[in-house]
Amino acid sequence: MARPTSRVLTLLELLQSGGIRTTTELADRLGVDVRTVRRYVDHLVDLDIPVEAVRGRYGGYRLAPGYRLPPLMLNDDEALAVLIGLVAGRRTGLPAATDTAGETATAKIRRALPERLARRLDAVLESIAFTAAPGEMATPETGVLLAIADAVRHRRPISIRYTARDGRRSERTLHPYGIVTHEGRWYVTGTDPAIGQDRTFRLDRIADARALPGSFEPPAGLDPAQRVLSGLAKAAYRHEVTLRIHGTVEQIRTRLPTSVASVEELVPAEAEAADPHAERWLRVELRAERLDWLPPVLASLDRPFVIERPDELRDLVIALADRLKASARHV
C-alpha cells in the first residue's frame, strides 16, 4: 500500500500535468476517497504550493497559472538537516565544507525553499553557536528547535515542557538568548524570569515549546556559547573536586576545557597584568559523576598540583602512581 507522502507527491505530479483535475478523478487515480484528496491538497497548500479550487460542474483543482515548482523539494526536517550540516561544517572547520562550495550550496538550497520555511530556518541558523565539531547528535524535535530559534530571533518569552535528568517533568518560562551545540548535544540558554536566574536546557529533553506574549532585552555583550560551557562546568554531579595547579590557564585548558572545569587566579590582579602568561598557582574546580578518569588527566598535564578535595581522588592518584612505578620497574 502506498504511503500518504507518496500519494501527496503523486497528486502534485497530476496537477503539474496541467488543466483542471476533478476531485473524483484524483480520488480514482490515487485510490482514496474524496475527503482524503482534500486533505492531501491541504498538505500541498501548507508547503506553499498554490493549489487552487475551481468551483462549478467541471470544477476540481489546479495549480495557479504560471507557477513553476522549484527543482528541490524538502520538508522541514530534511531542509533543516541539510542546512545545519553545511553551516556546522563551515563553522567548525570540517575540511569538506570550508571552501566556496559550502556557501554556494547553502545559498542554492535557501533560494529553492518556500519563503515561509526559509525564514524559519534562517532563524535557526542565526541562533546557533557551535563549540566543537559535532559528533553523534542527540537530535531535538524540529518543531521545538524552530519555535525556540524564532523566540531567540524576535526576543520573545517561551514556555517549555521539560524532562530533567532524573525524570522529573515541569513546565518552565524562559527568556531564550541563544542555541548552542556542544559535543553532539543541543542547548538553549537564557533566564527564568520567575526566579531571575540563568538556566540552560537540553533541547532533546524539551517536549514542547510555544511563544508567549511580550518581549525581553538580552544582556549586553552576551555570549551564549560561553554561558553554556560555564554552566556545564558547574552542573550538579556526584563529586565536587577542588585542585591547585601550578601552570598557565592555557596549559590547564589543554586537558580541562571550559565545559569541564572552572579556573580561578590565585595571584594579585597586578601580577596577572604584568605577565598574564606566567606560570602560577591556579584553583581549578569541577564536578564529575566518576573520578577514575581524573588521575590520568592530571598526570598528562605534567604540572605540580595539590588536591584539596575529595580524599577519594587523592587515593586514586596514589594508586595510579604505584601502578606506573611498578610497571616502570618491571623487567
Of the residues 177, 208, 232, the one at which a domain ends: 232
d(CA 226, CA 330): 46
3-class secondary structure per residue, the chain: CCCHHHHHHHHHHHHHCCCCECHHHHHHHHCCCHHHHHHHHHHHHHCCCCEEEECCCCCEEEECCCCCCCCCCCCHHHHHHHHHHHHHHHHHCCHHHCCHHHHHHHHHHHHHCCHHHHHHHHHHHHHEEECCCCCCCECCCHHHHHHHHHHHHHCCCEEEEEECCCCCEEEEEEEEEEEEEECCEEEEEEEECCCCEEEEEEHHHEEEEEECCCCCCCCCCCCHHHHHHHHHHCCCCCEEEEEEEEECHHHHHCCCCCCCEEEEECCCHHHHHHCCCCCEEEEEEEEECCCCCHHHHHHHHCCCEEEEECHHHHHHHHHHHHHHHHHHHCC
- On the question of pLDDT at 207 being above 60, the answer is yes
Residues whose CB is less than 8 angstroms from the CB of residue 59 and which lie 6 or more positions away in sequence, other chains included: 20, 22, 53
224 and 259 part of one domain: no
Residues 148 and 288 in one domain: no
Q: Is residue 134 part of a domain?
A: yes
C-alpha cell at 167: 525524570
Domain extent for 218: 76-232
First to last CA, the chain: 71
Do 215 and 247 have their domain in common?
A: no
Residues 284-319 have pLDDT tens digits of 998 887 899 999 999 999 999 999 999 999 999 999
User: Confidence class of residue 103 from pLDDT cuts 50, 70 and 90?
Assistant: low
pLDDT of 328: 86
Which pLDDT does position 115 carry in this prediction? 77
Distances in Å between the alpha carbon of 68 and those of 54, 72, 108? 19, 11, 16
- pLDDT greater than 70 at residue 274: no
Q: Per-residue pLDDT averaged across 78-104, rounded?
A: 61
Say whether pLDDT at 216 is over 70.
yes
Nine cell digits for residue 218:
538580552
- Segment 153-172, tens digit of pLDDT: 899 999 999 998 778 899 99
How much is the average pLDDT of 116-128?
77
What pLDDT digit, counting tens, does each position of 245-268 carry? 999 989 998 889 887 888 988 755
pLDDT averaged over every residue in the chain: 81
Q: Note the pLDDT of residue 95.
A: 46
For residue 7, pLDDT over 50 is answered with yes
Q: Tell me, what's the pLDDT at 331? A: 63
Q: Is the pLDDT of residue 215 over 90?
A: yes
21: CATH: 1.10.10.10
**Confidence at 96, pLDDT banded by 50, 70, 90:** very low
User: What confidence tier does 271 reach under pLDDT thresholds 50, 70, 90?
Assistant: very low
> What pLDDT is recorded for position 92?
54
Instruction: Over range 22-46, report the average pLDDT.
Output: 89
Whole-number Å distance between alpha carbons of 13 and 207: 36
Residues 100 and 182 placed together within one structural domain of the fold: yes
- pLDDT band for position 243 (50/70/90)? very high
**Is residue 49 scored above 90 in pLDDT?**
no
pLDDT at 296: 93
On the question of pLDDT at 275 being above 70, the answer is no
For residue 68, tell me if it sits in a domain: no
Number of domains the chain contains: 3
Domain boundary among 232, 264, 290: 232
Residue 16 domain flag: yes
Place 98 in a pLDDT band, splitting at 50, 70 and 90: very low
CA pair distance 182, 302, nearest whole angstrom? 27
Residue 164 lies in a domain: yes
Position 173 pLDDT exceeds 90: yes
Q: How do residues 77-90 score in pLDDT, each as one tens digit?
A: 777 777 777 766 66
> Are 164 and 88 in the same domain?
yes
pLDDT at 177: 92
**pLDDT more than 70, % of the chain:** 80
Pairing state between β 128-130 and 169-182 = parallel
Q: How sure is the predictor about 97, in pLDDT bands with cuts at 50, 70 and 90?
A: very low
Nearest residue to 190 (alpha-carbon basis) of 158, 166, 214: 158
Residue 252 is assigned to a structural domain of this protein: yes
162 shares its domain with 222: yes
70 within a domain of the structure (yes/no): no
